[in-house]
Amino acid sequence: MNKEQLLKLNEDFLESLDDKSSSLLKELTKGQHPSTLVVCCSDSRVVPEKIFHSTFGDIFVIRTAGNLINEGELASVEYGIEHLKVSLVVVLGHTHCGAVHASIHNEKGLYLSPILDRIKKNISLEKDEREASIINAQKEAEFIKSKFPNYQGEVISLLYDIETGKVS
């Protein structure tokens, strides 16, 4: 896809907006009030707004390789918790995660290695990729809880199955 194609897709999007969506976009210029924060992988197949059948302003999404929470992501989580007052924080792992796969298979990369090392620490000796994705999401949810001990909302981990579209 090139720039022109991307801009054409945006034009198509704008033309497809119904009156309700157009009104919602205008209303959201006044501020956002999502009830849920989702930390998910950067994987293009994992789209929380679609997975949870949501619309503009419903979900505050943080996308990061392997759904890992580092300093920048912690700042976004803090914003969601402290300023947006979300009542639910979800760490959404997924099947067929490239970062989990790379971690299990000891792959390296200039910028990837710290991420893969963190996943490796989270999953320990687990070799089953589905189970490793579950464990990784659980560990990151626990990490968020440890960083925001006074948060009154719920912090959970879920798994998105890319093959079926089901979340469990």
- Position 167 scores a pLDDT of 98
- Position 41 scores a pLDDT of 97
- Position 139 scores a pLDDT of 98
User: What residue ranges of the chain are covered by domains with CATH 3.40.1050.10?
Assistant: 33-160
According to the CATH classification, is domain 33-160 in 3.90.1300.10? Answer: no
* Tens-place pLDDT, residues 92-141: 999 999 999 999 999 999 999 999 999 999 999 999 999 999 999 999 99
- Position 105 scores a pLDDT of 96
Q: Give the residue ranges of the chain where pLDDT is below 50.
A: none
Neighbours of 165 (CB within 10 A): 9
Q: If you write DSSP's letter for every residue of 1-59 in order, what string do you get?
A: --HHHHHHHHHHHHHH--HHHHHHHHHHTT----SEEEEE---TT--HHHHTT--TTSE
- Position 56 scores a pLDDT of 95
- Position 20 scores a pLDDT of 94
- Position 153 scores a pLDDT of 98
